Chains A and B, each alone.
Chain A
Amino acid sequence: MSAGTENIYLPKMAVLDRVVSEIADVKTFYWRFKDAEAQAEFKHFRPGQFAQVSLFGVGEFPTSLPPSPTEDETFFTVRQVGSCTSALHRLTPGDHFAVRGPYGNGFPMEQYYGKNLVFVAGGIGLIPLRSCIVYALNNRDKYQRIQIFHGAKTPNELMYVPNLHQWEQTPGVECYLTVDRANNGWSGNVGVVGSLFKKPGVQVPVENTIAFVCGPPIMFRFVIKDLLGMGFAERNIVSTLERYMKCGVGKCGHCCIGMAYVCVDGPVFTYEQIKRLGEDI
C-alpha cells in the first residue's frame, strides 16, 4: 500500500437514484456517491468540468456535468453510443457504478461577472452548457443580458424541455428555439441555430459579451462564422472540446492535441485557443 500519494485512478462508489428519458438514446441519470463526504467534496465542481464514470467490467468514459454547483442534485446526461454508455443505459435505480472527478478547467464564470452571456447550443451541446446557464440564472445579479439559443433536428429532439419552458418564462432571459424540420404542430422557428440571430426582434449584444458555443462540428463551424461576422472577438467565444480519454488527469495521452491536454488544460477553450490547436473540432 502506498502512503501519502492519492490514487488518481481510483473511482468512488455511486448509486443510481432515477433515470429520466430526454430524447431518443439520451437519458439523464440522477446519482449520488455512497459516501456522504465524497458527495460533499464533489459538489465544489465548476460549470464545464467533467467526470469519469466507471461501469464495472466494461470500462470508464468521460462525461460533462450538466448540473450547476448551485443545484442540489448530481446527474449526467448521456447518449448511448459505445460500450460504456450502453452499460450505463442498462442500469436501473439502485444499481451501482463509480465516479471520479471533477476534472478539467471549467468555464471561468467569475471572470464573466458584469458581462452579457450568449449561449448557443446545438442538440446535446446543451448538456455542458446547461451547467453554465443554471449557474448564471442562480447568480442573476452578477451578469447583464442572458440569451439562450437552442436548436435541434426536430421538436422531439430539443433537450431539457422542462428547463427550456422555464427559461422561456423567466424574466430577464431571452430564450430562442429552432428546429431543422418541424412536426407535431411546431409553431416556432424552422432553420439552423444561426438563423435565429437574424430574426426580427432578436438583437445579439456583441460588446462586453461572452458567447458559449457547443454542438456538432458542422453547427460549430457555422455559428463561429456568424459570431465572427457580427464582430465577436475570438477570445470572447468559448466552447468545450470532446476527446477520447482514458485517465482524465493528463497521463494517458489520448486527448493531447497541439500543445494541450484536453483533460487538464481544457475541456474549455476560447475559439482563439481552439484555432491554434490545429485539429478538427
Chain B
Amino acid sequence: MKARILRRDEVLKIVDRLRQMRYEVVAPFHGRGRDTYFDTVTDNNRDRIQIHLPNPYYPPKKFVFPHIERLMKFQRSNGDIHIEATYEQPKRAIFGIRSCDLAGIYHLDRFYLGREFRDVYYENHRKNLFLVNIVCTDPDQDIGEDCFCICTDTGPAAREIFDLQLMDLGDEFMAVAGTPAGETLFADPIFRQGTPAHIEKRRALLDQLRHSFKKQSTSWFSTTVRYISHSESLEKTWEEIGNRCFECGGCTYVCPACTCFTVSDRQIGPNEFERVRTWDACALSGFTRMAGGFNPRRAVHDRRNRRFFRKLAYYFIQRELSMACVGCGRCAAVCHGDIGMPTVVEMIRRATDEVIK
C-alpha cells in the first residue's frame, strides 16, 4: 500500500484535481443544526466542504443505487411497441465517504454484481466511481452517539474498496492509495513522502480512537449473529421488537446496505411509458402482499424478524461474503421505537442468554 503526506490546507486540492479530471465530485456539507448532506461540488460551495462532520443521515448509497431510477421506456407507434433500455453512466467521485458507507458500497457490490445475475444499472453507476475515504478521527464531530463500526469491523479506518484514503494526523493528513487510480494522484506535488514517524502516529491515533466510541459491544454482535444463525433467538423477543416498530420504513431508507426495491410502470406521454425502480422497505406490510390479498408475512414482528435475520444470519453473510450491517448507526438514530440495530442486537443477546445459559 502506498502512502503520502499532505498539508492540511491542501487537502481540498484533491477535489480540484478530480474536478479537472472531469469527475462530478460529491462531498459532505453542513446544513442547519445537525443536518449534513452530500452535494455536488461547484466553484461556489467548494470552500464549504467539511472534512469533519456528523455523517449525513442519507448515505451516499443513492449515487450507486438512486431512490428512483428509470430502467426502460416503452414507446407505442403504429400498433407496434418499442422497448428501449435507458442507461446512465456518470463519471463521479465521492469525496469524504466514511468507512461505514464504504463497507455499504462493498456490500452492494457483492450483492448486485457478485452473484449469478449482474445488475447492469448498478454496474453503470459503479464503474467510474472514484472513492475518497476519510477516516473518522474527530470524536466530537465524526463519531456519533450511535456509531458502532468497531463492532461490525468496518471502521473507523476502512481497509479496502477506497481509491484514496485520507486520515487527519493533526497538522498533516496521511493519504493512502487503495487502487492504481488513487496512486496516480500522488504525481501531484501536494503529496510528499512520509516517515516512519507518520506511520507510528497513525497507528497510535487509531488505537486511541477505539476508545472514543460510545457503544462498545463487539462481543454482543458476534454472539447475536450466532444465536440468530442457529435459530436460538426467541419468538418472544421478536414480538417485543415488533411491538416497538412504527412501520415507518425509516431504518431501510437510511441504511447504506439495504438493497430491496420495487418496480412500477408509469405513463410519461400519450404513447410512452417508463418502468422505474424505487427503494422499498420490508417493514411495510405491502412488501409481501400478493395479488388477491394473501400475505405470508402478516404480523409486524415477522417483518422485523425478516430484516434483522437477513442482515445477521450467518447464511447470508457467507452468501455475499459481507454483512448487510456496516455499523453506521443511522437506523438507531432515526428509529422512533428505539429498535435500531445496536438495541436489537443487545435485546436478542440478553434474552437468549437468559434461556440458554
Contact = CB atoms under 8 A, between A and B. Distances in A.
A42 B112 CA distance: 24
A38 interface: no
Contacts of A250: 115-117
B291 interface: yes
Interface in B68-86: 71-72, 74, 76, 80-81, 83, 85
A57 B273 contact: yes
Secondary structure at the B interface, as helix, strand, loop or mixed, is mixed
Interface in A8-54: 8-11, 13
Interface string A183-210: 0000000000000000000000000000
B265 interface: yes
Interface residues of A, number: 43
Contact of B282 (A56, A253, A264): A253
A247 B76 CA distance: 24
A230 interface: no
A109 interface: no
Interface in B124-145: 124
A242 interface: yes
Which range holds the interface residue count of chain B?
Answer: 35 or more
B288 interface: yes
A224 B256 CA distance: 42
A251 B119 contact: yes
A244 B263 contact: no
Interface of A: 1-2, 5-11, 13, 55-61, 81-85, 96, 98, 217, 242-244, 246-247, 249-254, 256-257, 259, 264, 279-281
14 contacts: A2-B87, A8-B120, A9-B85, A9-B120, A10-B83, A56-B273, A58-B265, A59-B264, A96-B81, A250-B117, A252-B280, A253-B310, A279-B297, A279-B302
Given A6-B118, A60-B265, 12 more contacts: A9-B121, A13-B81, A56-B81, A57-B266, A60-B275, A82-B291, A244-B291, A246-B262, A246-B277, A252-B280, A253-B280, A253-B282
